[in-house]
A and B are shown apart, each in its own frame.
Chain A
Amino acid sequence: MIRTPLRPLARILKARDRGENPQAIERENLRLRHENMRDQARLRAESRLFVLGVFFLGAFLAVGGRMGVLANSDPLEPRSSVIGADILSTRADIVDRRGRILAKNLDTHSLYAQPHTMIDPEGAAQKLAQIFPDLDADALLEDFTGKRKFLWIKKKLSPEQKQAVHDIGEPGLLFGPREMRLYPNGAIAAHVLGGASFGREGVSSAEVIGVAGVEKHFDDYLRDPANGHKPLQLSLDLTVQAAAEEVLHGGMKIMNAKGASSVLMDIHTGEIISVVSLPDFDPNNRPRPLTAADKDKDQSDSPLFNRAIQGVYELGSTFKIFTAAQAVDLRLVNPSTVIETKGPMKVGGRTIGEFQNKNYGPLSVEDIIVKSSNRGTGRLALQIGVKRQKEFLDSLGFFQPTPIEMVEASGGRPLLPARWTDLSAVTISYGHGLSSSPMHLAAGYASLLNGGTRVEPTLLKQDGPQNGPRIVSPQTSQAAVKMLRKVVTDGTASFGEVPGYQVGGKTGTADKPKPRGGYYEDKVIATFATVFPASDPKYVLIVTLDEPEIIGLGKKRRTAGWTAVPVTSQMISRIAPLMGLRPVVEPATLTGVTLTSQ
């Protein structure tokens, strides 16, 4: 580039000749040069900005375009990297405490029809009716020849049925993939598992949703794909549950009861090892719940009704141990304090009577439990007082529905007296006037007998004891176990002895309330609440029979001692070995050591 000189000699000489200032020429030239430089610099800066702008635009377009592609594309399974079985889209399994399957997902097919594509609707309808006896050929034909373009025929098919339908060769019959919930053990633990059904349904898939029991309570957990490979482990033991159901079913039949329930609970961890309610049902084919049309039927007679959790009953004399234990814990009495149980005893205008109007006379607290004296526990309850009794029963969980992990648990809300008078305190001391479920009773017994700390029932497998807040002292807990043991060795539950397992327990026979007030004369709920082994309590077992009645020694017998107790002892002798409890010789009571010299 040739620079223009600032002071071109020719112009300067000319300017000098004209008498002008030559400096003006130099300034003029300098100005032009600066303007030129400025224009060039601007041009360069502008082009740089343009390049930068193009670069940014490209970057933003790339990011935006990628986002758009990601948002609109179908998700793809990553194929080039290693993936495990961590994420499964199936509903998680349910297993028992030893990992045996209680509920499982299975792939199957559903069958649907598109009548407008059918070639031989008549033949298809007839062949389908042959394969599925529950379908009606005429009704099918009507559907196939009508205006409908789509209809479901079967929601679940077995592989054999699928092959048979396939062999018809009708192009209008189509299969859709389905997942179904299988309960391989049939009716075992039916009430706990509940059941499952289909939620939203499409041709290519359908959601499986829990409808009752743990299936519904843990629906979110079970459906979460991240938990697909992590089964839900329950505290139930399949073999124990099966044995308990078998024994209870036999006992219910022998005792002519219309229903029965049992709860077996680990008193330290709160785990429910087995919970049975009879009659039961098959969760693979859950029966229809009672609806408004069946309003003359009793809800509690439906097999869907869970007696152990939803059934609130007055559980009778099984409550006496709570009264006695509280009185001992408050140091009002000790197990050998003698209480007068002679009648008549009137509280709040009502006479408190004994079973079959017996009269036991003065009894020690221990013997009140052993002989099951209403007036004895009533007197103890009056000593304890309404307020403290309420607090104690509340601390044992009798005022709330049980926290067990089933949707039905909230239905088992205990029925409490509206006004807790002295009379209520007395009747509740022997188990009348307060209705609760067998599960409540199991939790109450467990809390009282495990050394005196609160334990809440749970259906999930636990790692260790619960160590809840203290309710009674360890000494009281021990004394209560001793009293219960004596009921079996010397008292009303003599049929309950199982050699080697030192069963302790309390019987309870409560008259059933009529729906419109008052009590039935000849219908009872017989309960036996047990704890074993007494020398080192581990398990609480509650057995309840609904309206039992047998002939024993030539008389009609309804009391728990004749009905629930033999069933319970049979059950313990069956299930204790299954839980690995070795029968042991009961430690003898030590006689006091007398020192000859001191």
Chain B
Amino acid sequence: MRTLLYITTGLAVMGLAFWAYQENYRTQEALKEVRKLQREIAAERNRLEILRAEWAYLNRPDRLRDLAEVNFDLLGLLPMEPTQFGQVDQVSFPPANSLPPVTGAVDTMATTGDAQ
């Protein structure tokens, strides 16, 4: 009886040690993964910052103005003027036959969330 107890205890200790080591290795693996991911995040964040800076640099008003002037033939862009404001009722309705007729209508139910 006592022998059995000793054997079981020994087996339990070995099992637990095996489990503990395995957990330890998995933790280390996870930490390594986290470290790698964080390096990646830092690199991506850095890249994002550089891209943002580049975006701001490419969109600087001086450059856009020059580009608009160079490509005037193509774009015809001019500085915005007060006369360019319009009213919604100045926009004419499309001609009646420009839209295809509605066919195959389906009943649907809409919720307020869909409107956004």
Contact = CB atoms under 8 A, between A and B. Distances in A.
Interface stretch (A62-70, A180-188, A441-449): A180-188
B95 to A, nearest CB: 29
A104 B52 CA distance: 9
Contact of A242 (B30, B34, B61, B83): B61
B82 A182 contact: no
A158 B38 CA distance: 26
B45 interface: yes
A584 to B, nearest CB: 9
Contacts of B30: 80
Nearest to B83: A583
B50 interface: yes
B60 to A, nearest CB: 5
A583 B50 contact: no
Given A106-B49, A188-B62, A79 B82 contact: no
Nearest to A107: B46
B26 interface: no
B56 interface: yes
A96 to B, nearest CB: 10
Contact of A184 (B38, B46, B57, B80): B57
A289 interface: no
B49 A105 contact: yes
Contacts of B57: 182, 184
A583 B83 CA distance: 8
A101 B79 contact: no
Interface in B37-91: 38, 45-46, 49-50, 52-53, 56-57, 59-62, 65, 79-85
Nearest to B32: A79
Contacts of B20: none
A105 B56 CA distance: 12
A576 B82 CA distance: 8
Given A101-B53, A185-B60, A577 B81 contact: yes
A178 to B, nearest CB: 14
Interface in A39-97: 77, 79-80, 85
Interface stretch (A13-21, A121-129, A385-393, A497-505): A497-505
B79 A80 contact: no
A573 interface: yes
A260 to B, nearest CB: 18
B16 interface: no
A498 B83 CA distance: 11
A105 B53 CA distance: 8
B31 A182 contact: no
A182 B60 contact: no
A77 B41 CA distance: 14
Interface residues of A, number: 31
A286 interface: no
A395 B56 CA distance: 41
A501 B82 contact: yes
A101 B49 contact: no
B53 A104 contact: yes
B79 A186 contact: no
B80 A182 contact: no
Interface in A307-340: none
A207 interface: no
B82 A577 contact: yes
A186 B63 CA distance: 10
A484 B81 CA distance: 24
A498 B85 CA distance: 15
Residue of B38, B65, B82 with most partner-chain A CB within 10 A: B82
A576 B84 CA distance: 12
Given A106-B49, A242-B62, A574 B56 contact: no
B61 A188 contact: yes
Contacts of B38: 77, 79
A184 B56 contact: yes
A578 B85 CA distance: 11
Interface centre among B31, B49, B61 (most CB of A within 10 A): B61
Interface string B1-45: 000000000000000000000000000001100110010000001
Most chain A CB within 10 A, of B53, B59, B83, is at B53
A93 to B, nearest CB: 8
A283 B57 CA distance: 14
Given A80-B34, A583-B82, A185 B53 contact: no
Nearest to B80: A577
24 contacts: A77-B38, A79-B35, A80-B31, A100-B56, A100-B59, A101-B52, A101-B56, A104-B49, A104-B53, A106-B49, A107-B46, A182-B53, A182-B57, A184-B57, A185-B56, A185-B60, A185-B61, A186-B60, A188-B61, A246-B65, A500-B82, A501-B82, A577-B80, A577-B81
Given A80-B30, A106-B50, 5 more contacts: A79-B31, A79-B38, A104-B49, A104-B53, A583-B83
